[in-house]
Amino acid sequence: MHRLIEQIFIKHFDNNWLRQANDQAMFASANGRMVISTDAHVITPLFFPGGDIGSLAVHGTLNDVAMAGAKPLYLSAAFILEAGLPIADLERIVISMAAAAKLAGTPIITGDTKVVERGKGDGVYITTTGIGVVPDGVNIAADLAKPGDAVIISGSIGDHGIAVMASRENLQFGTSIVSDSAALHELVAVMLAAAPGQIHCLRDPTRGGVAAVLNELAQQSAIGIQLIETAIPIKPEVSAACELLGLDPLYVANEGKLLCICQAAAVENLLKAMRAHPLGRDAMQIGTVQADPYHLVQMQTGFGGRRIVDVPVGELLPRIC
Amino acid sequence: MHRLIEQIFIKHFDNNWLRQANDQAMFASANGRMVISTDAHVITPLFFPGGDIGSLAVHGTLNDVAMAGAKPLYLSAAFILEAGLPIADLERIVISMAAAAKLAGTPIITGDTKVVERGKGDGVYITTTGIGVVPDGVNIAADLAKPGDAVIISGSIGDHGIAVMASRENLQFGTSIVSDSAALHELVAVMLAAAPGQIHCLRDPTRGGVAAVLNELAQQSAIGIQLIETAIPIKPEVSAACELLGLDPLYVANEGKLLCICQAAAVENLLKAMRAHPLGRDAMQIGTVQADPYHLVQMQTGFGGRRIVDVPVGELLPRIC
């Protein structure tokens, strides 16, 4: 059984590092600054429209690496399998994970597997860790937003959260909503080339959505943010689903979108470059950064009012990633 | 609740990287070759004589990094918490983890936390990833053992497995047996200095014990191994417990021991250096490497006979690490 599982990993993740079968993998160090990021993935259900826990575990961690402006190089993966998980399901997940890693150009070079008893897990949990290198001259961090900066989003919000919720609850929305799960590092590379030295913050709005991330950035940079509701891209079917479910899309998770805070002078070039990339086709400026001693995120609503976009209280939807 | 958990991590793991509160941590790249290793820790019980899942999660991954001859630099940690885990237990684990990381000189620079429902986890699972740098001139891998080499163990075997089993089953062995869980990278550094270029393989005999590791090395290096039973260090109380439980100590897990395959000419210097280190005090040569087309691990028993030490069938004790 253990050997069977090992073989599935080696077969699909196949690369020189794994074939060496050491308890660790060796790689040539890059020059300069490197980044590391790790994420445990516990999403339920394991398979959802637009992805599964395998592809998500690759995208989620790659995106955290990419949000430092880094080029991801390698991944590691640790699996916690619940006894009774059908081998066919595991293999389907591993195949999807291998495909996502290959497409991203980031091999899974080391890993681990543990099996726990039934009722001590939920099919499979996957923790991935990503290593990347930050190009010279790139300085992106959560505390670098400045008054006067612009806030950009790379595309429509809420797709992942609503897709997972719909599949979890067996909801039928007429049109099928699909997760946006995708690796964003190539979009980031395009953005860095289009606006060198002008991007201050990058963050992917996953758990807690756009609202959580913008509040964190406002706190860490000690600034305020003004959003314009009508500028925020959202698909009609996602908007309708949110209305039906009583959800605010600003709090719904995304897995293939990024928020960018940049110099106002960079917006035109950036949006042009982003919209030329498949993952940035619907990029929009959605707000601006302002001096604000209270570090609030506020939104000018479609009706002309203004409301505070507060920090999410608790988790809207547990196990969304 | 989420904030409470975050605060526990930040308070105890406190370092400049975590304080930046980005979704990834940046570090200066080392020159040359780096290694990465990852391990999911699912041990039960969470607390056992000589350690807990927190210290184990640090030691287990550091040791996998060290077994490449590397100096560990940084750790990441991802927690999967089961709802209902007492916060006091989590804090106790985090404190122990922080102490282990501090003692080892390897800060936990990034991390993640997910919470799953009751019955979908078992208190806490911790996946750690370690990054290290391999000194110039060090070439250690599982396929480098050669006929004529010596096999060394750094100390007594079976302590971790028996300590955990005893605590799990509430067994009373008269004398208390304590896990050997420890970080081995400083011992490795001492060994590399004592026998430069002469160490071919290093492996920590965790799951599956000495038997599993030596069989893997025999396969990967395409050699045979001859062990001498009477040379293998084992504490009397561990030996007695194994007899009582019907266990072969060669298959029992260790968390603070290493197996070393080295040139025969290096043995004297190596043992001297190892025995001068607290974690190598009981180091012994326990066997030799031989040409063997069948890649067998054999043992000359205390009674003068010879037996094959086979690959373990299945896991002797699930969730031991």
Q: Which pLDDT value is given to residue B2?
A: 66
| Interchain CB distance below 8 Å, B74 and A36 | yes
**Distance between B228 CA and the closest CA of chain A, angstroms:** 26
Residues B114 and B154 in one domain: no
* Residue B63 belongs to a domain: yes
* Residue B144 belongs to a domain: no
d(CA A300, CA A273): 27
Indicate the SS3 state at residue B134.
strand
Q: Is the pLDDT of residue A190 over 80?
A: yes
ipTM field: 0.94
**Band of residue B175 on the pLDDT scale cut at 50, 70, 90:** low
Q: ∠ at Cα A213 (B77, A308), nearest 5°?
A: 145
From chain B, the residues in CB contact with A43 under 8 A are: none
| Interchain CB distance below 8 Å, A78 and B38 | yes
**Nearest residue to B135 (alpha-carbon basis) of B62, B202, B72:** B72
Token digits of residue B302? 């205390």
* Residue B314 belongs to a domain: no
From chain A, the residues in CB contact with B111 under 8 A are: 38
Which of B6, B17, B35, B36 would best serve as a mutation to test chain A binding (most A beta carbons within 10 A)?
Answer: B36
β-partners of residue B287 are B151, B227
Distance of alpha carbon B222 from the chain centroid: 24
Please answer whether residues B311 and B211 qualify as being in contact, where contact means their C-beta atoms are separated by less than 8 angstroms.
Answer: yes
β-partners of residue B48 are B51
Cα dihedral across residues A16, B310, B152, B319: positive or negative: positive
Mean pLDDT of A236-262: 95
| Interchain CB distance below 8 Å, A38 and B77 | yes
* Residue B28 belongs to a domain: yes
Task: Report the domain count for chain B.
Answer: 2
Please list, residue by residue across A291-308, b when 16 or more beta carbons sit within 10 angstroms of its beta carbon and e when fewer do: ebeeebbbbbeeeeeeee
Residues B199 and B271 in one domain: yes
Residues B166 and B238 in one domain: yes
Indicate the SS3 state at residue A291.
coil
| A210: CB partners within 8 A, 6+ apart | A153, A157, A232, A250, A251, A254, A259
Q: B140: nearest CA in chain A?
A: A22
d(CA A262, CA A93): 37
**Distance between B246 CA and the closest CA of chain A, angstroms:** 23
**Burial of B300 by CB count in 10 Å (0-12 exposed, 13-18 middle, 19+ buried)?**
middle
Please answer whether residues B116 and B81 qualify as being in contact, where contact means their C-beta atoms are separated by less than 8 angstroms.
Answer: yes
Q: Which of the listed residues B88, B109, B134 is the one where a domain comes to its end?
A: B134
Dihedrals φ, ψ of A222, to 5°? 55, 50
Half-sphere exposure of A31 (CA within 13 A, CB side): 3
From chain B, the residues in CB contact with A127 under 8 A are: 38, 40, 78, 80, 112, 127
**Cα radius of gyration rounded to whole Å, chain A:** 20
What CATH number is associated with residue A207? 3.90.650.10
d(CA A153, CA A258): 6
d(CA B251, CA B207): 8
Q: Which pLDDT value is given to residue B262?
A: 98
Residues B224 and B303 in one domain: yes
Question: For A268-318, what is each residue's pLDDT tens digit?
Answer: 999 999 999 999 999 999 999 999 999 999 999 988 899 999 998 877 788
Mean pLDDT of B306-310: 96
* Residue A67 belongs to a domain: yes
Please answer whether residues A61 and A37 qualify as being in contact, where contact means their C-beta atoms are separated by less than 8 angstroms.
Answer: yes
Residues B173 and B301 in one domain: yes
CA B249 → CA A257, B168, B232, B309, B318, distances in Å? 52, 18, 10, 11, 16
| Interchain CB distance below 8 Å, B29 and A33 | yes
Indicate the SS3 state at residue A273.
helix
Bond preceding residue A107 cis, omega within 30 of 0: no
| B221: CB partners within 8 A, 6+ apart | B142, B143, B144, B145, B146, B200, B201, B261, B289
**Cα radius of gyration rounded to whole Å, chain B:** 20
Distance of alpha carbon A59 from the chain centroid: 6
Residue A23 or residue B270, greater confidence: B270
Q: Which of the listed residues B70, B102, B134 is the one where a domain comes to its end?
A: B134
Distance of alpha carbon B37 from the chain centroid: 12
**Distance between A143 CA and the closest CA of chain B, angstroms:** 8
Q: Is the pLDDT of residue A78 over 90?
A: yes
Please answer whether residues A205 and A212 qualify as being in contact, where contact means their C-beta atoms are separated by less than 8 angstroms.
Answer: yes
From chain B, the residues in CB contact with A38 under 8 A are: 76-78, 110-112, 127, 129
Cα dihedral across residues A18, A22, A23, A29: positive or negative: negative
- Write out the DSSP string of A187-242: HHHHHHHHSTTTEEEEE---TTHHHHHHHHHHHHHT-EEEEEGGGS---HHHHHHH
d(CA A133, CA B26): 9
**Band of residue B174 on the pLDDT scale cut at 50, 70, 90:** low
| Interchain CB distance below 8 Å, A23 and B203 | yes
Mean pLDDT of B127-140: 95
**Nearest residue to A217 (alpha-carbon basis) of A129, A307, A302, A292:** A292
Q: Which pLDDT value is given to residue A174?
A: 54
CA A30 → CA A23, A232, A259, B109, B248, distances in Å? 22, 38, 27, 19, 45
Residue with tokens 């002469």: B198
CA A164 → CA A58, A232, A247, A266, B255, distances in Å? 17, 21, 14, 35, 40
CA B211 → CA B32, B69, B249, B290, distances in Å? 33, 22, 9, 16
| Interchain CB distance below 8 Å, B68 and A21 | no
d(CA B192, CA B270): 9
Q: B109: nearest CA in chain A?
A: A36
Q: B63: nearest CA in chain A?
A: A23
Give A170's DSSP letter.
Answer: T
Question: For B8-25, what is each residue's pLDDT tens digit?
Answer: 888 888 888 887 777 888
Residues A169 and A298 in one domain: yes
Residues A38 and A161 in one domain: no
Question: For B249-305, what is each residue's pLDDT tens digit?
Answer: 999 999 999 999 999 999 999 999 999 999 999 999 999 999 999 999 999 998 889
Please answer whether residues A121 and B121 qualify as being in contact, where contact means their C-beta atoms are separated by less than 8 angstroms.
Answer: yes
**Nearest residue to B77 (alpha-carbon basis) of A36, A183, A319, A202:** A36
**Burial of A70 by CB count in 10 Å (0-12 exposed, 13-18 middle, 19+ buried)?**
buried
| Interchain CB distance below 8 Å, B125 and A80 | yes
Domain containing residue B6:
2-134
| Interchain CB distance below 8 Å, B28 and A26 | no
* Residue B316 belongs to a domain: no
Angle, helices B185-194/B267-275, rounded to nearest 10 degrees: 140
Residues A299 and A157 in one domain: yes
What CATH number is associated with residue B111? 3.30.1330.10
Which of A13, A16, A20, A24 would best serve as a mutation to test chain B binding (most B beta carbons within 10 A)?
Answer: A24
Nearest residue, CB atoms, A36 vs list B109, B120, B315? B109
Nearest residue, CB atoms, B121 vs list A23, A37, A121? A121
Residues B128 and B238 in one domain: no
d(CA B113, CA B168): 26
| Interchain CB distance below 8 Å, A25 and B36 | yes
- Write out the DSSP string of A106-169: --EEEEEEEEE-TTSSSSEEEEEEEEEEEPTT----TT---TT-EEEESS-SSHHHHHHHHHHH
| Interchain CB distance below 8 Å, A37 and B27 | no
| Interchain CB distance below 8 Å, B318 and A115 | yes
* Residue B204 belongs to a domain: yes
Nearest residue, CB atoms, B119 vs list A77, A119, A131? A119
| Interchain CB distance below 8 Å, B20 and A110 | no
| Interchain CB distance below 8 Å, B27 and A33 | yes
Residues B265 and B294 in one domain: yes
Q: Which of the listed residues A109, A134, A159 is the one where a domain comes to its end?
A: A134
Give A265's DSSP letter.
Answer: G
* Residue A50 belongs to a domain: yes
Bond preceding residue A45 cis, omega within 30 of 0: yes
β-partners of residue A308 are A298
d(CA B131, CA B188): 16
**Nearest residue to A315 (alpha-carbon basis) of B99, B75, B83, B183:** B83
Question: For B73-114, what is each residue's pLDDT tens digit?
Answer: 999 999 999 999 999 999 999 999 999 999 999 999 999 999
Quick one: what percent of chain B has pLDDT higher than 90? 82
Residues A98 and A169 in one domain: no
Nearest residue, CB atoms, A30 vs list B29, B39, B119? B29
Q: B206: nearest CA in chain A?
A: A23
Q: Which pLDDT value is given to residue B1?
A: 63
**Nearest residue to A97 (alpha-carbon basis) of A140, A62, A68:** A62
**Distance between B302 CA and the closest CA of chain A, angstroms:** 32
Average pLDDT of chain B, as a whole number: 93
| Interchain CB distance below 8 Å, B142 and A21 | yes
Residues B61 and B179 in one domain: no
